[in-house]
Amino acid sequence: MPSSVSPRRLRLLRALPAVFVAVSLAVTQLVGAEPAHAASGVQRVHDRDRVSTAVAVATQAWGHAPHVLLATASDYPDAIAGAALAARRQGPVLLTPPDHVPVPVWEALRSLGTTDVTILGGGKAVTPAVEQHLRAAGYAVQRASGPTRYHTAAVVAGQVNAGGDVPLVAVAVGSRADGRDAWPDALSAASLAGLNSPAPTLLAADDHLPDATRDALQQLAPDRVMVLGGPGAVSDAVVQQIAGMDIPVERAAGSDRFATSVRVAQAALDGGGGAGTLDGQQVVFASGENFPDALGAGALAARRSAPLVLVPGGQLADGVDAFLRSDGTDFEGGVLVGGPVAVSGFVHQELEAALAGAPRPTPPPPPPPAPEPSCAPNSSPDCRYTYHHPISTWESLARCESGGNWAINTGNGYYGGLQFALSSWRAVGGTGYPHQQSKWEQIYRGELLQSRQGWGAWPSCSRKIGLR
């Protein structure tokens, strides 16, 4: 199947009978979702890649979506900023490569009855060619973008609360000076997108407030700001800059990305002040170890007025388990976005048990250790050296020379199991002292010496054990 569709082909696709769309959707649902388990109602939604997973989320959660947001599949900031706008527009976030619209996205637009598409990000994130193809196919297209991710987030935030009061704004890190991942805490902003008044997300650098973000805060004039993540993500200097604008500011942070997502989720469930609260019946889960699946999950969380909770891939974090079992939560079920490669089947079982109030399942045994490397015959155990003469020959020679003590220093100018003179040792490339090196290193240097001088380099013992 080709990776993109021409405008002409798309017009034909849009004209196809509804039965085609129904069949296409049925196939997507068969591939992209596992049946909800009766005990907890935790449904897994996924497909073969990040683009198709976002499509699976959209087609299963939105029967009809006149307005769709489209963001690049290759980075996180634009889609994260778009979660609150998706809540306001009541549509999903779909993902695309920068330079073309994949077939699954075209089919999703058709099946959802979409008429309007908002592209998130500038021309490098989603190229003008994509915009032109969408327009040629008959969609009304607008772009929310700026010269940087900070400007784009500011533009999107302005559309979330255009002309209205802004009870709450989330501020998350958009980049780190040291190049480390900046997305984990920012993903948690999706929990605030499902409030009665969706909280827009602005981005900060880890050590300062960019001008675009400062200007947006002045324009939005929120009642309060919630900074997501600890000082290692968003520094205290940023918090002080916001407070210096006479805006009440609080920090929602935990010991790691998973604890932070729980902290933000709990804050949203407790109530966002004038922004309202979450419904609290559902919870959405996504991997906290990679961002792609969580991008579409953010809009899903907003649609269901549910918190987005990040989970590890291999075993559920204790803080997440405790949150799901706490008296303050009463979730009826949830959705796990992402396949078993991103979040294991065992974590899925743990989520089900936590929501059902059942005991935590026993972790599966660790996989067996990888087999030791298979060395060539007559080699050292680390495969570093392969010898011409049997190792047993060298061991016999060492028993004669030193009693088999490879670490001996006799004090008479001879060292190690083979009783090297220091001059002989260094002549064959040895470093340091022979007795300080491994048995295998000494045998290797012995091989080099024997190739030059023969067994006569050990005149007495070589005769004694029959080597000459």
pLDDT at position 8 over 50: no
pLDDT at position 9 over 70: no
Can you name the residues that pair with 168 across neighbouring β-strands? 224
> What is 287-319 written as a DSSP string?
ESS-SHHHHHHHHHHHHTT--EEEE-SSS--HH
pLDDT at position 275 over 80: no
pLDDT at 373 (0 to 100): 62
The string of pLDDT tens digits covering residues 119-138 is 999 999 999 999 999 999 99
Q: What angle do CA 257, 172, 276 make, to 5 degrees?
A: 95
pLDDT at position 1 over 50: no
pLDDT at position 28 over 90: no
pLDDT at position 24 over 60: no
Is the model more confident about 388 or about 367?
A: 388
Residue pair 224/168 in contact (Cβ under 8 Å)? The answer is: yes
Cα–Cα distance list, 329 to 116, 195, 297 (Å): 37, 16, 20
Task: Give the closest residue to 306 by CA, choosing from 350, 262, 260, 269.
Answer: 269
pLDDT at position 375 over 90: no
Residue pair 74/97 in contact (Cβ under 8 Å)? The answer is: yes
Q: What angle do CA 332, 336, 341 make, to 5 degrees?
A: 155
Task: Provide the pLDDT confidence category of residue 37 given band limits of 50, 70 and 90.
Answer: very low
pLDDT at position 462 over 60: yes
Segment 306-321 mean pLDDT: 96
Task: Provide the pLDDT confidence category of residue 254 given band limits of 50, 70 and 90.
Answer: very high
pLDDT at position 180 over 80: no
Task: Give the closest residue to 72 by CA, choosing from 159, 176, 144.
Answer: 144
Is the model more confident about 352 or about 35?
A: 352
pLDDT at position 12 over 80: no
Segment 349-362 mean pLDDT: 95
Segment 131-159 mean pLDDT: 96
Task: Provide the pLDDT confidence category of residue 186 given band limits of 50, 70 and 90.
Answer: confident
Lowest mean pLDDT among 43-47, 122-126, 218-222, 326-330: 326-330
pLDDT at position 286 over 90: yes
Segment 375-391 mean pLDDT: 87
> What is 2-49 written as a DSSP string?
-S---HHHHHHHHHS-HHHHHHHHHHHHHHHBPPPPTTT-EEEE--SS
Q: Where are the beta strands (DSSP E) in 184-246?
A: 201-205, 224-228
- Measured in residues, the chain has a length of 468
pLDDT at position 11 over 80: no
H-type alpha helices, 96-182: 103-111, 128-136, 149-160
Mean pLDDT score across all residues of the chain:
88
Segment 405-420 mean pLDDT: 92
Residue pair 173/204 in contact (Cβ under 8 Å)? The answer is: yes
Domains contained in the chain, CATH given: 7-356 (no CATH), 391-464 (1.10.530.10)
Q: Count helices and strands (H / E) in the chain.
A: 19, 14
The string of pLDDT tens digits covering residues 226-248 is 999 999 999 999 999 999 999 99
Residue partners of 427: CB distance under 8 A and separation at least 6:
449
Six token digits for residue 109:
């637009």
pLDDT at 291 (0 to 100): 87
Task: Provide the pLDDT confidence category of residue 18 given band limits of 50, 70 and 90.
Answer: very low
Is the model more confident about 244 or about 23?
A: 244
Six token digits for residue 273:
């002040």
Segment 434-460 mean pLDDT: 94
pLDDT at 376 (0 to 100): 82
pLDDT at position 360 over 60: yes
pLDDT at 249 (0 to 100): 97
pLDDT at position 23 over 60: no
pLDDT at position 284 over 60: yes
Task: Provide the pLDDT confidence category of residue 20 given band limits of 50, 70 and 90.
Answer: very low
